[in-house]
Structure 1
Amino acid sequence: MTTKLTQLLNIKYPIIQAPMFLVSNVAMVTEAMKSGIAGCIPALNYRTLDELRAAIKTLHANQVEGGAFGFNLIVNKSNLKYKEQLKVICEEGCDFIITSLGSPEETIIQAHKVGIKVFCDVVDLKFAKKVEHLGADAVIAVNNQAGGHRGDKSPEVLIKELVAHCSIPIISAGGVGCKADVDKMLSYGAEGVSVGSPFIASIEADVTDEYKQACVDYGAEDIVMTERISGTPCTVINTPYVQKIGTKQTWLESVLNKNKKLKKWVKMVRFSIGMNAAKNAATKATYKTVWVAGPSIENTTEILPTKDIINRLIN
């Protein structure tokens, strides 16, 4: 399956195991590389820079021909660790960086100095053209079937629009749970796909069995949007607890978000609260859980090793 993505990363199959907060880890990415795809981990999954550096060294040691690894960076001002994380990643090296939620300009400049590719999350043509102008190597087209913070356009509409107006490769993110989904995205013109939610229910994932089992028990129709985690609409499983607390931000949050002077600080506080809430949901089994996932859990029928989930995507 040769595409521009496989050529960019020297991988066998045009698939990126998407970075997922608190879910992705070295074990998952190692299995991804062994299976001939690329794996990515959010830098924020590591509390300290030393832990991040150690993870990169381990992934280099585990890397095999036909596989690749990278890291995801939140590049807006709410992530106070961003610049230090970027420095460590550039010092230790990896195959690619995926940027999210902000301008990738500094990341592109620093990463390209050391030969690291940069792919940028976008939800529309406007931002795709911006990152292309800044020198991005590819765009991650986040559609309305993605898990977490998703876009508004369908995979077909978004991919075809970006392919028609951009000269860099388009990688589709969202709505992929099996081989037929991969083929569909490639038929629209994508050079590869980014797949996240199906890997939550993997043996290697660092989350509770309850979270994994929820991805088995619930399906695409059980995914809803909530503003209660980060302040930005995010997809979650519609558990009884989510139904109880609702999915809209509180009256106070709504008022504060409209205040130009306070908006930035409110977002930073909301981001911090949301990160802690997501961590508790992923690592503690209580009835007060908000589990992030996308519609592609529809194909998840049991908890499996990462390599078996990848096999479902390529065969």
Structure 2
Amino acid sequence: MSKLPLIVAPMFLVSTPEMVIAAGKEGVIGSFPLLNARPVSQCAEWLEQIKMELTTEPWAVNFICHKKSNKRYEDDLQLIKTYQPPIVITSLGHPGEVIEVVHDYGGKVYADVATVKHARKAAATGVDGLILVCAGAGGHGGTLNPFAFISAVKQFFNGTLILSGSLSTGKDIAAAKLMGADYAYMGTRFIVAEESSAQDEYKEMVLSATIEDVLYTNAFSGVHANVLIPSLLKQGIDPATLQSREEVDLSHLVNVKAWRDIWSAGHGVTAVEKSEPMREIICQLKKEYEEEVASLVQND
């Protein structure tokens, strides 16, 4: 089975163990946020399910390091100790404690970063990889150009680099490799997967959306994110009235109900055209990737 240099990004209230397993069986690294499974006992069941299905394939979980926001911090850290996911993706906070745990059992830690300053800080903690969150990424997105971001980070970091932001096709994956990334990081393309837990209306909105339907705002949590304008309008929220939020409030990580209908997508949403099983999406991405790589070699 051919492998694709791709990580299916962990998506809040979207990623499922079925997505992770399907990705792994197709030679792709799947992931899910630990907070998607509530309560902790269900999360343990998800981890057990994935470990039983993916005995040799790599997979990942997303761990929120922001202790004030993640009320399950200690429980989730214990789950990582117990089930030993091969890769832990850290977000929003200092990853030092989880690095110690993961490295103790031989796993890897990748930290997502949106600025060069944060990349330096994460690199200094000893992470194995950096996820460079560039402009157009779904969810918590950045603003940097990927060419410049990769170039800047390569000056001080020799670990694994994962490129995130507006990647939706196999050609995009090939471009990420050409730019110097080890993996592409793709989320929006998989929101509409049949194994996804996204609501049907959410999937339909993604399928009909274009880049012009994506709004970059920090009005909801104090952390800038890309959200779908139609989902705001559906909730009676006028995008023109949104105000910048000065303080970071990540309570939506706990209060799921309040955020269930504010939906996210990245700039690559235009390339998402139909809902399919994970296997079909990945097969299409492989085909596009291999064709583009062959074309580059031929034209060299």
TM range (shorter): 0.7 to 0.9
Other-structure match for 1:175: 166
CA contact (8 A) 1:144 1:152 kept: yes
Other-structure match for 2:142: 151
Other-structure match for 1:92: 83
CA shift at 1:240, angstroms?
7.0
Query: For 1:137-286, what aligned pairs fall within 5 Å after superposition?
Result: 137-239=128-230, 241-242=232-233, 245-247=237-239, 254=245, 257=246, 263=247, 267=249, 269=251, 272=254, 275-279=256-260, 281=261
CA shift at 1:229, angstroms?
3.2
Cα–Cα, structure 1 residues 57 and 314, in superposed 2: closer, same or farther, change >3 Å? same
CA contact (8 A) 1:231 1:270 kept: no
Cα–Cα, structure 1 residues 271 and 13, in superposed 2: closer, same or farther, change >3 Å? closer
Residues 28-49 of structure 1, C-alpha deviation per residue, up to 9 Å, x if partnerless?
Answer: 1111011101111000001122
Other-structure match for 1:72: 62
CA contact (8 A) 2:89 2:111 kept: yes
2:217 and 2:30 map into 1 onto residues whose CA distance is: 27
CA shift at 1:231, angstroms?
3.0
Other-structure match for 1:118: 109
Structure 1 window deviating more from structure 2 (237-246 vs 126-135): it is: 237-246
Residues 226-252 of structure 1, C-alpha deviation per residue, up to 9 Å, x if partnerless?
Answer: 33432322111121743952347867x
CA contact (8 A) 1:237 1:293 kept: yes
Other-structure match for 2:273: 301
Cα–Cα, structure 1 residues 310 and 149, in superposed 2: closer, same or farther, change >3 Å? same
1:129 maps to 2:120: yes
Tell me the secondary structure at the aligned position of residue 165 of structure 1. coil
Other-structure match for 1:104: 95
1:152 and 1:95 map into 2 onto residues whose CA distance is: 30
1:114 and 1:161 map into 2 onto residues whose CA distance is: 31
CA contact (8 A) 1:140 1:172 kept: yes
2:207 and 2:90 map into 1 onto residues whose CA distance is: 29
CA shift at 1:108, angstroms?
0.5
Other-structure match for 1:26: 17
Other-structure match for 1:260: none
Cα–Cα, structure 1 residues 56 and 249, in superposed 2: closer, same or farther, change >3 Å? farther
Tell me the secondary structure at the aligned position of residue 61 of structure 2. strand
Amino acid at match of 2:42: E
CA shift at 1:312, angstroms?
2.5
CA shift at 1:270, angstroms?
6.4
1:69 and 1:121 map into 2 onto residues whose CA distance is: 16
Cα–Cα, structure 1 residues 248 and 106, in superposed 2: closer, same or farther, change >3 Å? farther
Other-structure match for 1:82: 73
Other-structure match for 1:292: 264
Other-structure match for 1:313: 285
2:257 and 2:282 map into 1 onto residues whose CA distance is: 30
Number of corresponding residues: 285
CA contact (8 A) 1:17 1:37 kept: yes
1:188 and 1:118 map into 2 onto residues whose CA distance is: 22
Unaligned runs of 5+ in 2: 288-300
Q: Please report the TM-score for the alignment, with normalisation by the length of structure 1.
A: 0.84
CA contact (8 A) 2:70 2:254 kept: no
- RMSD of aligned alpha carbons: 2.2
Unaligned runs of 5+ in 1: 2-10, 258-262, 282-289
